[in-house]
Amino acid sequence: MDTESHNLTLEPYPEALYEAVVDAVPAWIIKRIHEVSTALSGTVHPELELMQSQLVSSVTAEVKKNLAVLLATDVDTQNINPLQVLRDSTTVVSDAMVQVGIPFPHRDQFEVRAMPNDIYSIGPITWRDLSEDVHDAGITWGAWKAAVILSRRRDEGMIPS
């Protein structure tokens, strides 16, 4: 796992989610660049094609760093979820789309409130938006997190055994 540079150790389920997400990010971000650019301008803008490798590297680096930190954080103190890390990582892609003149899409009020910085709706809504492997790892991680929290609340006497 590439969390060594951050001196972080992850539990097995968070590690599986981290690995699945990091493996899926390059293909996912390329797919989203193509889908969004084509939907809004009829084609993939040539300058975006030229920037693609740099954009993938930038998004991947941000996801690696921020996801590792989140997943290494105690479950009781996590204040965002991993999908939000992915949504937040797309700012560099949105900036590139603005730079090359991709028109802005219509966004509903929920999207604007929930994802104010994701102006092109690049970020994922569900785990499946990245891949089936990420979906499986995300569901498993969520169940693990819930089990940890429930176990702690039982141990604290906050819920019956």
As a dihedral over the C-alpha atoms of residue 29, residue 35, residue 36, residue 41, rounded to 10 degrees, the angle is 140
The pLDDT assigned to 157 comes to 87
* Token pair for 136: 């499986």
Q: How confident is the model at residue 161 (pLDDT cuts 50, 70, 90)?
A: confident
Q: What percent of the chain has pLDDT over 90?
A: 86
Structure confidence by residue, pLDDT tens digits, 137-149: 999 999 999 999 9
95-99: average pLDDT: 97
The pTM is what?
0.91
Q: Which residue from 21, 24, 45 is spatially nearest to 33, judged by alpha carbons? A: 45
Least confident of 6-10, 79-83, 129-133, 138-142: 6-10
34-55: average pLDDT: 96
2-22: average pLDDT: 84
Query: 3-state SS of the chain: helix, strand, coil percent to 5?
Result: 70, 0, 30
